[in-house]
Structure 1
């Protein structure tokens, strides 16, 4: 069982997740994202975030996407071109970020882009009563994977 940990302090923390297993991390620009084809996380500079919690929650979200890469957990929704699968992978990433935050010790707060995905999430949940459980399972798998990497690195 993993214990509750204090949040990590400092912008270099993302290298613990992003540099594992050949993944790359880049700092700059104004948007955070995971680039599936080239397998890297792009993060804006630490100083542009409203809080450390906001930075770590965003990083955890992108790291959950990274964990789904074919060389890691091979999550099919990550590479799908359907809008429904894209929205589902966003749900997985957000749930995973919440799970990681609960263990590591940062808060995940609502984001403006959640509203854009809400309709897709609701449609998926109406069409498949198991969708939330499958998304939670995939999110937990990604969180476990990432947390294990952090512990292996002495995080």
Structure 2
């Protein structure tokens, strides 16, 4: 859990705590879920950085890019 001081307010802290409890329920000996897809997903984070950098470049050159993308979706 992040320190309490890093969140906006108590409600945000409880929201993060609740989210983390959901992860906690994934313990294999309790639910026998195949979590390998999540492991693969976590290894793709560097790709998300490239995506974000691309969007920031677009945003710098076209101020309404995010609104246009939402309209096109």
Give the alignment's TM-score, normalised by structure 2: 0.44
Structure index of larger Rg:
2
Which structure is higher in strand share?
1
Higher RCO (CA < 8 A, seq sep 6+): 1
**TM-score in terms of structure 1 length:** 0.23
